[in-house]
Each structure stands twice: as C-alpha cells, then as structure tokens.
Amino acid sequence: MIKRVFQIIRPEGKWKIAASVIGGAFLGIAIYLFIVSNASSYLSDDPATCVNCHLMSPQYSTWYHSSHREVTNCNDCHVPHNNVINKYFFKAKDGLRHATVFTLRNEPQVIFIKSAGIKVVQENCKRCHEKLNENTELKNLTGEKYLRGEDKVCWSCHREVPHGRVNSLSSTVHTFAPLPEDIKLKK
Amino acid sequence: MEQNQNIKKKGWVNWILFFATIIIVFLLGMLANSVTQRRTEARLVNTPKVQIKDYEPRNKIWGENYPREYQSYLLTADTGFRSMFNGSGLTDMLELNPKMVILWAGYAFSKDYNQPRGHYYAVNDVRMTLRTGSPLKPDEGPQPSTCWACKSPDVPRMMNEVGISDFYKAKWAFYGPEIHNPIGCADCHDPKTMKLRISRPALIEAFQAMGKDINKVSHNEMRSLVCAQCHVEYYFKGDGKYLTFPWEKGTTVEKIEEYYDSYQFKDWEHALSKAPMLKAQHPDYELFTMGIHAERGVSCADCHMPYISEGGQKYTNHHIQSPLNNINASCQVCHRESEQTLVKNVYDRQIKNAELREKAEQLLVKAHVEAKAAWDAGATETDMKDILQLIRQAQWRWDFAVAGHGSSFHAPVEVARILGNSIERVQEARVMLAKLHAKLGIKEVKYPDISTKDKAQAYIGLDMKKLKEEKEVFVKTVLPEWDKKAEERESKW
C-alpha cells in the first residue's frame, strides 16, 4: 500500500534525484523541528510540558503550590475525559491554537480561559467532587449554563482554586518553573 | 506522440512541486529557528554595556543598558490615545471649558492650560506654554526656576552643582540652557543599583515635616512615591520660591487648607472678585491614597507601568500612560471582567463626578461676577470679607478635586464629597451676595458671554495677541540658543 502511494507520487526519469534530495531535506527539517520542539512530550500528561513555552509559568507555579498538585496534573482538569478520542481531539485543537499564538508572538499579558475550556474544567471539577456535591445539587452546574448567564461555575466562588487571584504573565515569575530540558543550566 | 505530451505535462507539474517544496522547506526552517530562539530567550539576561555616572541626565545613555525599559519609555511620545475625558495628546482645556478662564482670572493659568502629554514632552511643553512667558534675557520673565523642578533629570544635576535653594531662587530663563532632557531614568533610579530613588528634595522635606522617614518605606510604596515627587499639591514658599508640599498638618483637602490659612497664604488675588485665591496643582497622589486601590496596597506603577513579560523575561513597562489604553496588563491582572465592562466601570465614576464638577464651575463663575458687581456698586471690605473667604474655600475644593486628571477614578467618593462641599460653600457665598446686592440696590447682574476661550479671555482683559507674538519671538531666538548650549555641553561628557 505505502509502496504504491510512493510510486504514484515519485516522479519519472530526470526528476528522480532532485525529488529525492528535496524530499530528504523536507523530511530532515521536519524531524529536526519535531526534536527541538520536544513534540513527543505533548502526548504525555507531564505538567512540565505545559511550560515548554514559558508562557504558562504562573499557571504552573500556582498549581505547584496548591493542594491540587497532589492529585491532578494539567490534563486532569483542562482536557475532557468523557472518551479517549475527545480527549486527544481537544488536546490537539487547544495545543495547535496555543502554538500558533506563541509563534506569532500574539500572547496577551493576562490569559483568560475560553468558553470551550470553561465547559471542560467544570465537568472535571464534578468528575472528582461529585460525591461531595450530591446533597447540595451543585453537581447540576454546567459550563453551558454559566455561559448563558444562568448559573455559576465552581470557581465563581472558589476563586483561588488553584491558580490564585493575580493573573499577569509576570505575576509569579520568580517562583520555580522548569526550563525546557535541553537548555537547563549545567552545574 | 501521446506519451510525449504526457511527459511534457508531468514536467510542468513537477516544476510547481519543486517550487512549492522550496517555500515549504523555507517556512519550516523559519519555524524551527523560531522554536529554538523562543526556547533560549527565557535564559537570556541583560548585561550592562556602559558605566552610568551619577546624575547622568541623558536617557539614551541609560537606554543602552536597559533597552526594553528605554524603548517602552520612548512610547510616552505617543499622542494618539483618547478616552472619554482625557488622552495622551495636548488638548486645550480652556477652549474645551472657557469657564476656567474666569475662575483663574488674574492668574497665569487663564492664559494657557492644556491637558498634559507624556513625559517625553516635559521640557518642550513647559517651554512652549504661555504661562512661562517669553523671557529674552536670563533674569527676565514671570516665573522662577522652580518651574523646572519636575521637568527633567537635569534638575537634580543642577541642584547638586549650585545647591537646592539657589536653584529655586533664580529666574526660570536662567537655567534654560541647562535643563535639556525630558523626565526620565535619573528622576527615579539610582544609576548603580537601579533601585528606586527619590531625587527631589521637596518630597523628602515633606516627609520630614510630617515626622516620617522616607528611607523607611517599602519597595512597593516607592513604586508610588517616585511619582509623588511631582504628582502632588505644592506651592512656592516665600521670596526664595522654595518648592514645598503643604503636608505638615495632613494631606486631605481640609488639612492642606488649614496649613495655608495658618499664615494667610494666597496664590493670587482674583481679578474679578478680589478673593484671596488658592490654586490646587495636581494632587494626584493625595487623592489616590484616599481611594480603594491605594487602600488595598496597589501602587501607581501597578496600573500605569504594569509588569510585562516578553520572551520569558519580566520587566516594567515604562510607557507610562492611562491604564485605559492597556486594560489587559493593568486591570485584568486582578479583575476578571471583560475590557468593555471595566471601561464602563471607570467611565461611570468619571461621568458622575463630571456632573458635580460642571455644577460647581457654573456657580463659581457666577459668584465671581456677582462679587465684582458688588465691588462696583461700592461694597466695603467688611461687607465682602466673609463672602470672599467662602469663594476661596469653594474654589480651592473644586480645584483640588479636578486638577488631577485621574482623581475621579482614583477616589470617586472623596472627589464627590469635596465637590459637594464646594457647591455648598459657593451657594452660601451667593446667598450672602444676594443680600448684599439688595442692600446696595443692584437689581440685575449682567453675566458675560463666555461661550468660547477668546470671549472669556477678552472679558478678563487678557491681550492674547501680544502674549502669542512675544512667545513666537522667544521660540525663534531664545530656544535655539538654549539647545545649542546644551548640546555643546553634552558633547563634552
């Protein structure tokens, strides 16, 4: 199958060598990009991945100093867990948006969660805290209702959970956040 | 034949493929380069390039060591921003509100008063205003050298050379060739440690007068106090025109008034009502401390020079400006509402206070004209004494509340309280004036037409044409001399 596809796109005669060189260059630079951007880490659940671009350092630090550090990572709250396909679809969609904004140097100084994220986080609050809220009916709160202005979400009241109240990109800049692996200072 | 055509066709497609690949590989290369760069930048730290000497007034020299701060400082040259009531460009306030010409009759502010521009223009704009007159010689002109005090980092340099009180004593024109660089780095920073530093003696002396030690404040307080070196109520004390903040008894409008009253100080005698007037400068800091943000420990720099992050490096944005032009990095750091909502919250407060301001101004104009009518009909000093005191108090309150451009947001409740008291006092004065008019037999007072700045200035007898012509001569002959001397001096450093 792969061989047949290859044969179709491979040019005839005098173009053969040129095509191999260009194709090789193309593939080589793609592999280089894959390595320098640490692309495989984006498939993992490691929170250090989310500070690859040093934009999420305040979010990383505040989480790191919160009680949620003991039981959650970024993905536990920020990607959906209703099924595996949805999880990776959402992760890819959100990740590509972040990558685009970061590459274009378009990041705002203060980051707000978008409406898709609100729905996901709210569901994830309930995923773990459902038993706690059974009697108070708070488990009926949803991101959708909140966005229509009909109800609250968990963090409307629990405002400091878990990222605190000061939200600038530079707000927690002197706290510990891991630097990307390959450029860490050698001691 | 058929095969031949096929090869030809395929060749054409291949060329497209070839060039498309070049473009894609090129872009991929750029992306890879960007990724590498952005992963490294978090580790890069600025290394100083030049040694900055003490009292170095040239901002661009500091800029060589601190390019991010300097480049953002240069943005204070931008004049394009307008909010509902203020902006970053020069706006002729007397044209916008000719009532102020009447309120300041007999005082330099009735000649010329603009909404200020950014720090970048500090020296230029004080040279160009009609208030500083048109001195052709170093010992001429209406203003003392004290008027330079807040305009330039050349001021601490000169104070260090000639002494503080000698600096204030001279005429404004005397130090014209020396004061060259606009407000900048050395006004707030120690050149060796870059720590915030108070460079103006007036603030240090004001703290001493209140029994406080300015060396014992926190860094966060310094992030407001460096602004309070200038953005405060001040006056020129005595014949030496010594720059003084009237804070000895306290910093509220009443306490400062008590201080001025304690030795019958007046800035000028009003040209119409002959009331002994006080002019509030811009008590931005005093009123800011009465507001909720100050109470919660927010400093001036938090909103006017918010921290920003660029490539993983945190630095202070030195584009000092209205936070309304940068809601994201200022308000939204703490307030999670949308920009639209936050702007509305600011405007709501400003609009309500502007309503009170307008009322106070209308009544004050009437009071001055009515007092003049009383004098003209033969009123005596004893008749007028209490009335003039009330006018002084009312206008002092109005001026204190509105002279700082941000006050109706910084401390909306305090500003409303002050304006309410101003209105009460001026109305009290007008009730007394009405009684006096009845006694003197005045049936009707003719209020002047002050619908434009020109009409208002003509009414109080200002010869604006002459003032402007003199300024033109000053700008053409004196200013080039000042600049030449300054550039010669700096080229030798």
Residue B487 pLDDT level (bands cut at 50, 70, 90) = very high
Residue B408 pLDDT level (bands cut at 50, 70, 90) = very high
From chain B residues 278-317, the ones with a CB under 8 A of any chain A CB are 306-309, 311-312, 314
Lowest-confidence range among A176-185, B87-96, B459-468? A176-185
Lowest-confidence range among B21-30, B179-188, B213-222? B21-30
Which of A144, A163, A164 minimizes the C-alpha distance to A152? A144
Residue A184 lies in a domain: no
Nearest-Cα residue of chain A relative to residue B41: A54
Residue A187 lies in a domain: no
Q: What is the pLDDT of residues B186-208, one digit of tens each?
A: 999 999 999 999 999 999 999 99
Q: Do residue A68 and residue A13 come from a single domain? A: no
Q: Do residue A67 and residue A134 come from a single domain? A: yes
Structure tokens at A57: 């350092």
Q: Do residue A19 and residue A53 come from a single domain? A: no
From chain B residues 43-102, the ones with a CB under 8 A of any chain A CB are 43
B156 exposed, middle or buried (CB, 10 Å; 0-12, 13-18, 19+)?
buried
Q: Do residue A79 and residue A31 come from a single domain? A: no
Question: For B490, which DSSP code?
Answer: H
Chain A residues with CB under 8 Å of B29 CB are: 29
CB contact under 8 A, A110 and B328: yes
From chain A residues 111-150, the ones with a CB under 8 A of any chain B CB are 112
Nearest-Cα residue of chain B relative to residue A35: B32
Identify the pLDDT of residue B145. 96
Min distance A109 CA to chain B CA atoms (Å)? 5
Which of B315, B86, B100, B281 minimizes the C-alpha distance to B194? B315
Q: What is the pLDDT of residues A67-94, one digit of tens each?
A: 999 999 999 999 999 999 999 999 999 9
Identify the pLDDT of residue B399. 97
Identify the pLDDT of residue B7. 53
Min distance B142 CA to chain A CA atoms (Å)? 47
Residue A95 lies in a domain: yes
A85 touches chain B (CB under 8 A): no
CB contact under 8 A, B28 and A185: no
Q: Which among B39, B325, B338 is the top mutation candidate for probing chain A, defined by the most A β-carbons within 10 Å of its own β-carbon? A: B39
Comparison of pLDDT for B181 and A184, the residue scoring more:
B181
CB contact under 8 A, A168 and B333: yes
pLDDT for B421 beyond 90: yes
Residue A74 lies in a domain: yes
Comparison of pLDDT for B350 and A183, the residue scoring more:
B350
Across the A/B interface, how many CB contacts are shorter than 8 Å? 94
Q: Which of A11, A32, A169 sits opposite B32 (nearest CB)?
A: A32
Q: Which of B36, B309, B334 sits opposite A36 (nearest CB)?
A: B36
Min distance B163 CA to chain A CA atoms (Å)? 42
Identify the pLDDT of residue A37. 79
Identify the pLDDT of residue B9. 59
pLDDT for B309 beyond 90: no
Q: Do residue A158 and residue A106 come from a single domain? A: yes
Which of B405, B398, B389 minimizes the C-alpha distance to B363? B398
Nearest-Cα residue of chain B relative to residue A184: B43
In which domain, by residue range, is A71 found?
Answer: 45-179
Identify the pLDDT of residue B45. 66
Residue A127 lies in a domain: yes
Identify the pLDDT of residue B8. 56
Average pLDDT for B105-116:
95
CATH for A130: 1.10.3820.10
Residue A98 lies in a domain: yes
Min distance B300 CA to chain A CA atoms (Å)? 16
Which of B378, B391, B170, B154 minimizes the C-alpha distance to B271? B391
Cβ count within 10 A of residue B137: 10
Q: Do residue A21 and residue A111 come from a single domain? A: no
Min distance B4 CA to chain A CA atoms (Å)? 13
pTM attached to this predicted model: 0.86
Q: How many domains does chain A have?
A: 2
pLDDT for B351 beyond 90: yes
Nearest-Cα residue of chain A relative to residue B8: A12
% of chain B beyond a pLDDT of 70 = 97
Distance in angstroms (rounded) separating the CA atoms of residues B282 and B115? 12
Q: Do residue A12 and residue A79 come from a single domain? A: no
Q: Which among A14, A27, A29, A59 is the top mutation candidate for probing chain B, defined by the most B β-carbons within 10 Å of its own β-carbon? A: A29
Residue B38 pLDDT level (bands cut at 50, 70, 90) = confident
Residue A138 lies in a domain: yes
Which of A37, A102, A184 minimizes the C-alpha distance to B33? A37
B219 touches chain A (CB under 8 A): no
Q: Which of A165, A179, A183 sits opposite B334 (nearest CB)?
A: A165
Comparison of pLDDT for B7 and B338, the residue scoring more:
B338
CB contact under 8 A, A26 and B7: no
Distance in angstroms (rounded) separating the CA atoms of residues A53 and B309? 12
From chain B residues 336-375, the ones with a CB under 8 A of any chain A CB are 336
Residue A122 lies in a domain: yes
Q: What is the pLDDT of residues B310-346, one digit of tens each?
A: 877 788 999 999 999 999 999 999 998 999 999 999 9
Distance in angstroms (rounded) separating the CA atoms of residues B183 and B187? 7
pLDDT for B371 beyond 70: yes
Q: Do residue A7 and residue A99 come from a single domain? A: no
pLDDT for B161 beyond 80: yes
Chain A residues with CB under 8 Å of B42 CB are: 54, 179-180, 183
Lowest-confidence range among A23-32, B92-101, B228-237, B297-306? A23-32
Q: Do residue A141 and residue A66 come from a single domain? A: yes
Q: Which of B14, B314, B336 sits opposite A173 (nearest CB)?
A: B314
Phi/psi of residue B87, nearest 5 degrees: 180, 180
Identify the pLDDT of residue B4. 54
Q: Which of B14, B29, B306 sits opposite A29 (nearest CB)?
A: B29
Q: Do residue A9 and residue A65 come from a single domain? A: no
Q: Which of A57, A109, A173 sits opposite B329 (nearest CB)?
A: A109
B199 exposed, middle or buried (CB, 10 Å; 0-12, 13-18, 19+)?
buried
pLDDT for B1 beyond 70: no
pLDDT for B6 beyond 70: no
Q: Which domains does chain B have, with CATH numbers?
A: 59-336+458-491 (1.10.1130.10)
Phi/psi of residue B457, nearest 5 degrees: -70, -35
User: Would strands B276-277 and B268-269 be described as parallel, antiparallel, or unpaired?
Assistant: antiparallel
Q: Do residue A52 and residue A16 come from a single domain? A: no
Low-confidence ranges of chain A (pLDDT < 50): 182-187
Q: Do residue A28 and residue A50 come from a single domain? A: no
